[in-house]
Chains A and B, each alone.
Chain A
Amino acid sequence: MSDRPLLRIGNVGIAFGGLKVLSDVSLTLNAGEVLGLIGPNGAGKTTLFNIVTGFLRPSHGEVVFDGQDITHARTAQRVRMGIVRTFQKSMVFPDLTVLENLGLALRAGDGGYAWWGGSAVLTRAEVRARDILLRAGMYDRARRPVASLSYGEQRIVDVLISLATEPKLLLLDEPTAGLSKAEGEHLVAVIRALCPETSLILVAHDLDIVFSVCDRVAVLDLGRMIACDTPAAIRAHEGAQAAYLGKGKEAVQ
Chain B
Amino acid sequence: MTETVKAFDAAAARSTQVNRRIACVAGLLVLAALVPFAASDYQLRFAAEILIVGTAVLSLDLLVGFGGLVSLGHATLFGGAAYAAAVAARAWGADLTLMVGIGIVTGMAMAFVTGIVVMRTIALFFLILTLIVGQIFWEIVFHWRSVTGGADGLRGLPALELHLGFTTLDLSSSRALYITAAVLAFAAWAVARSFVNAPAGRALIGTRERQLRMSALGYDIARIRMMALLASGAIAGAAGALYPFVNQYIGPNSMHWTFSAMMVVMLVIGGVGSLYGAFIGAAICLGIQTYISSYTDRWQLVVGLIFVLTVLIMPRGIVHGVGSLMRGKGKP
Contact B210 A91 (CB under 8 A): yes
**Chain A residue with the shortest CB-CB distance to B209:** A93
The B interface is mostly helix, strand or loop, or mixed, namely: helix
Q: How many A-B residue pairs have CB under 8 A?
A: 92
Q: Which residues of A contact B206 (CB under 8 A)?
A: 93, 96, 104
* B261 sits at the interface (CB 8 A): no
**Chain B residue with the shortest CB-CB distance to A117:** B198
Interface residues of B in 176-231 (CB under 8 A from A): 194-195, 198-200, 202-203, 205-206, 209-210, 212-220, 223-224, 227, 231
CA distance A113 to B219 in the complex (A): 9
Which of A84, A111, A114, A115 has the most B CB atoms < 10 Å from its CB? A115
Contact B219 A93 (CB under 8 A): no
Contact A79 B216 (CB under 8 A): yes
* A87 sits at the interface (CB 8 A): yes
CA distance A169 to B195 in the complex (A): 33
Interface string of A76-98 (1 = CB under 8 A from B): 10111000111100011111100
* A217 sits at the interface (CB 8 A): no
Q: Which residues of B contact A121 (CB under 8 A)?
A: 199
Nearest CB on A from B8, distance (A): 14
* A198 sits at the interface (CB 8 A): no
CA distance A116 to B234 in the complex (A): 14
The A interface is mostly helix, strand or loop, or mixed, namely: loop
Q: If A91-B213, A111-B199 touch, does A117 touch B194 (CB 8 Å cutoff)?
A: yes
Nearest CB on B from A6, distance (A): 18
- A-side interface residues, number (CB < 8 Å): 37
Contact A113 B223 (CB under 8 A): yes
Q: Which residues of B contact A113 (CB under 8 A)?
A: 199-200, 203, 223-224, 227
* A30 sits at the interface (CB 8 A): no
Q: If A93-B205, A95-B209, A116-B195 touch, does A79 touch B200 (CB 8 Å cutoff)?
A: no
CA distance A96 to B213 in the complex (A): 14
* A161 sits at the interface (CB 8 A): yes
CA distance A162 to B202 in the complex (A): 17
CA distance A100 to B202 in the complex (A): 8
Nearest CB on A from B204, distance (A): 10
* A107 sits at the interface (CB 8 A): yes
Nearest CB on B from A167, distance (A): 10
**Chain A residue with the shortest CB-CB distance to B215:** A75
Q: Which of B194, B202, B218, B231 interacts with A75 by CB under 8 Å?
A: B218
Which of B212, B213, B219, B231 has the most A CB atoms < 10 Å from its CB? B213
Q: Which of B199, B209, B217, B220 interacts with A165 by CB under 8 Å?
A: B217
Q: If A104-B214, A115-B231 touch, does A96 touch B209 (CB 8 Å cutoff)?
A: yes
Q: Which residues of A contact B215 (CB under 8 A)?
A: 55, 75-76
CA distance A114 to B203 in the complex (A): 10
Q: If A80-B218, A96-B205, A108-B219 touch, does A115 touch B213 (CB 8 Å cutoff)?
A: no
Q: Which residues of A contact B227 (CB under 8 A)?
A: 113, 115
Contact A118 B205 (CB under 8 A): no
Q: Which residues of B contact A91 (CB under 8 A)?
A: 210, 212-213, 216
30 A-B contact pairs sorted by A residue (CB < 8 Å): A55-B215, A76-B219, A76-B220, A79-B218, A80-B218, A84-B216, A85-B216, A87-B212, A87-B213, A91-B213, A92-B213, A93-B210, A96-B205, A104-B214, A107-B199, A107-B203, A108-B217, A108-B218, A108-B219, A112-B199, A112-B219, A113-B199, A113-B203, A113-B224, A113-B227, A114-B200, A115-B227, A116-B194, A117-B198, A122-B198
Residues of B within 8 A of A (CB): 194-195, 198-200, 202-203, 205-206, 209-210, 212-220, 223-224, 227, 231
Give 9 closest A-B pairs by Cβ, nearest first.
A79-B218, A91-B213, A108-B217, A114-B199, A76-B218, A118-B199, A118-B198, A108-B218, A93-B209
